[in-house]
C-alpha cells in the first residue's frame, strides 16, 4: 500500500486514475508513470487496479522511486498492527453469531479477527468449533492445530481437535490427542471419557470401558451413566 498522503506532501502532486487513461495522460502531459499498485483513497477505500504517477523533475525521480519502495515495504507492517478495540469488537460479534447458531456468519467475524491479529488464539478455537458444528472437520482440525502450533500445552485445543478427529472417523488420531491431554493433565476426566468413546469407535470395547472406569473413580458422574449404557463390567 502506497502512502499517498505522504507522497503528496513530499512531491506536491499525486494523480490517480484508471490504468489506460492514466498511461495516456502521462505520456501526453509529462507525468512519470511508475507502476500499477493498489492505493487507499481517502474517500472511497481500496481502489484495485490503478496506477500512481507524479509530475516531478527528472533529478527527483530516483528519490521518488526509493521513497515509494520504502513505503511499500513499511506499510504492510502498519496495516497488520492489531487494534485491540477493533479486534475485540469483531470477536464479540462472532460470539453473538455463534450463540445465535449462525455459524457461517460467526466464521466470517473470527476470520476478520485473525486477519488483523493472527495470534488471537480464541478466534482459532471458536472458528474451529463453528466448522465442527457444520461438519467441516478438516477445517476445524486446521484451526485447532493453529492453536497447538502457537501454544503446545493448550489442553482445550487438543481436546477439541481430538473430538473433531473422532467425528471425522480418524479414531487413532483422536486417541493420540486425548493421550496428550492426559499427559499434560493426568486427572482430566473429560479426556478419559472422550478417549473411551474413540476406543469404542475403533473397536476396542474393553479399553473403552477401562477409560470410563478411570473417569468414574475420579468422581465423574457422566462416566457412571456411560458405563451402565455400554454394559461395561
First and final C-alpha spacing in the chain: 67
**Helical spans, DSSP H, in 134-188:** 137-150, 155-167, 171-184
Q: Do 92 and 148 share a structural domain?
A: yes
pLDDT for 59 equals 54
26 pLDDT more than 50: no
Least trusted range by pLDDT, from 19-33, 132-146, 172-186: 19-33
Least trusted range by pLDDT, from 3-17, 107-121, 154-168, 196-210: 3-17
Give the CATH number of the domain where residue 92 resides: 1.25.40.10
Residue among 132, 86, 80 at smallest CA distance from 109: 86
Q: Identify whether 159 is part of a domain.
A: no
74 pLDDT more than 80: no
**Domain endpoint, select from 28, 53, 80:** 80
List pLDDT tens digits, range 132-143. 999 999 999 999
29 pLDDT more than 70: no
Q: Is residue 45 packed enough to be buried (19+ CB in 10 Å), middle (13-18) or exposed (0-12)?
A: exposed
166 pLDDT more than 80: yes
3 pLDDT more than 60: no
List pLDDT tens digits, range 183-193. 999 999 999 99
50 pLDDT more than 70: no
Q: Identify whether 67 is part of a domain.
A: yes
pLDDT for 20 equals 33
Q: Identify whether 135 is part of a domain.
A: yes
Amino acid at each position: 500500500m502506497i502512502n499517498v498522503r505522504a507522497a503528496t506532501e513530499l512531491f506536491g502532486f499525486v494523480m490517480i486514475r484508471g490504468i489506460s487513461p492514466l498511461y495516456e495522460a502521462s505520456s501526453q502531459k509529462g507525468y512519470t508513470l511508475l507502476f500499477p499498485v493498489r492505493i487507499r483513497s481517502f474517500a472511497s477505500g481500496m481502489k484495485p487496479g490503478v496506477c500512481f504517477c507524479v509530475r516531478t523533475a527528472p533529478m527527483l525521480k530516483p528519490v521518488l522511486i526509493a521513497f515509494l519502495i520504502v513505503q511499500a515495504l513499511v506499510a504492510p507492517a502498519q496495516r497488520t498492527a492489531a487494534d485491540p478495540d477493533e479486534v475485540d469488537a469483531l470477536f464479540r460479534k462472532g460470539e453473538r453469531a455463534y450463540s445465535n447458531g449462525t455459524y457461517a456468519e460467526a466464521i466470517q467475524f473470527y476470520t476478520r479477527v485473525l486477519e488483523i491479529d493472527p495470534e488471537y488464539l480464541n478466534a482459532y478455537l471458536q472458528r474451529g468449533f463453528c466448522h465442527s458444528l457444520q461438519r467441516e472437520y478438516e477445517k476445524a482440525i486446521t484451526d485447532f492445530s493453529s492453536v497447538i502450533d502457537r501454544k503446545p500445552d493448550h489442553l482445550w485445543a487438543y481436546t477439541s481437535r481430538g473430538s473433531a478427529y473422532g467425528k471425522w472417523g480418524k479414531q487413532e488420531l483422536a486417541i493420540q490427542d486425548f493421550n496428550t491431554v492426559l499427559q499434560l493433565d493426568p486427572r482430566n476426566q473429560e479426556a478419559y471419557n472422550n478417549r473411551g468413546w474413540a476406543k469404542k469407535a475403533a473397536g476396542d470395547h474393553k479399553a473403552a470401558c477401562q477409560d470410563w472406569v478411570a473417569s468414574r473413580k475420579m468422581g465423574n458422574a457422566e462416566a457412571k451413566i456411560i458405563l451402565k449404557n455400554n454394559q461395561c463390567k
